[in-house]
Amino acid sequence: MNTQQPSDAAAHPDAAAQLHHRLGALDPDNYTAEKCAHYADQIAEIRELKRERRAVVLAHNYQRPEIFEVADFIGDSFELARNSREVRDAEVIVFCGVHFMAETAKVFNPERKVLLPDMRAGCSLAESVTAEALADRRDELLPLYPDLKIVSYVNCTADVKALSDACCTSANAARVVNAIDSDHILFVPDQNLANYVQTQTAKQIISWDGNCYVHHQITPEEVLKVKAGMPGVIVIAHPECRKDVLAIADEVLSTSAMMRYAKESPADKFLIVTECGLSDRLLLEVPNKHFYKACKLCRYMKMITLEGTLDSLRHLRYAIELPDDVRAGAKRALERMLELGA
């Protein structure tokens, strides 16, 4: 089957119509009937291949809505890490997210094939710190702070994790920092998250100068502009945002905590300040409430497509590999996170 072009006649007309109904409501110009028919065929083929290959698909909250259709689990970085550790009865994990997340799945599943559909799916935060630079900074700081511990946000490479005393995610960063036995924490690589954690702890946080290019470009002016026309709207921001954006947010939450908050809150109007995929997930799963966007797209997350996921399963590509010592070191830091920050 040619998967490059939408097919003329849908092989799965009922599924195509349902998909068009669901996704067309998000963006009618993008999710046309023809495109949804093509996606319905690809989704059916992916589901079939998942059975044949004994594969599971894990997807981050920022993925494209059509990817959610084939996911066995959708979540934030913390849930995905925990979930990948609990995979049973599968030989293959297809990770619809970015490279550092797929690495974490590999850390917990050395015997399974862990596939990332597009190796270009990186992360500006993960790129901002190397193991060498981190080791140099640690050696510089240790004489000044002999009790120094390294906490790395999971948005970093496995060899950076391997140098860390513990990892954390946006869902548990303050909990991990407060639980670790040191008063001086070198926190890498997100400066914005480090600033936010500093507001939640008496410990001294020494930050790195990385940032998420997606969240860092959101300004308070644009949030206030959208908010101005909506009295009573609840502003929910991700802690990767700048501190002047967090200062005007009603809630600062990880992506899955945003999902839970929006579902459980008595309010019905929310302004979502993070990557746009999360707003799509909210619109799909909480149709009785209103979600407004002050969001940006992550070009890395959006490199994962349905087509790429299908090809990944067809050709069992692209496999994540990690040297044993790096895997063991990263596992130790991730396990420490699960112990301290669960």
With CB cut-offs between 5 and 8 Å by kind, which of ligand 13P, ligand SF4, none does residue 205 bind?
A: none
Q: How far apart are CA 157 and CA 12, in angstroms?
A: 40
Q: How far apart are CA 242 and CA 88, in angstroms?
A: 39
Q: Does 155 contact ligand 13P by CB under 6 A?
A: yes
Task: Rank residues 145 and 213 by Cβ distance to ligand SF4 and give the closer one.
Answer: 213
Q: Does 128 contact ligand 13P by CB under 6 A?
A: no
For residues 180 and 165, is the Cβ–Cβ distance under 8 A?
yes
Q: Which of 192, 255, 279, 312 binds ligand 13P (CB under 6 A)?
A: 255
Say if residue 318 is preceded by a cis peptide, omega within 30 of 0.
Answer: yes
Beta strands in 134-233 (DSSP E): 149-153, 166-168, 184-188, 204-207
Residue type, 305: T
Q: How far apart are CA 281 and CA 12, in angstroms?
A: 24
The end-to-end CA distance of the chain, in Å, is 45
**Which two structure tokens, joined as six digits, stand for 101?**
């997340």
**Which two structure tokens, joined as six digits, stand for 269?**
């109007």
Site for ligand SF4 in 271-300 (CB under 6 A): 275, 298, 300
Task: Rank residues 215 and 331 by Cβ distance to ligand SF4 and give the closer one.
Answer: 215
Q: Does 192 contact ligand 13P by CB under 6 A?
A: no
Task: Rank residues 210 and 220 by Cβ distance to ligand SF4 and give the closer one.
Answer: 210
Q: Does 155 contact ligand SF4 by CB under 6 A?
A: yes
Residue whose token pair is 């979540």: 75
x-or-dash string of contact with ligand SF4, 38-77, rule CB under 6 A? ----------------------------------------
Q: Does 240 contact ligand 13P by CB under 6 A?
A: yes
- Residues lying near ligand SF4 in the complex (CB under 6 A) are found at 98, 123-125, 155, 212-214, 240, 275, 298, 300-301
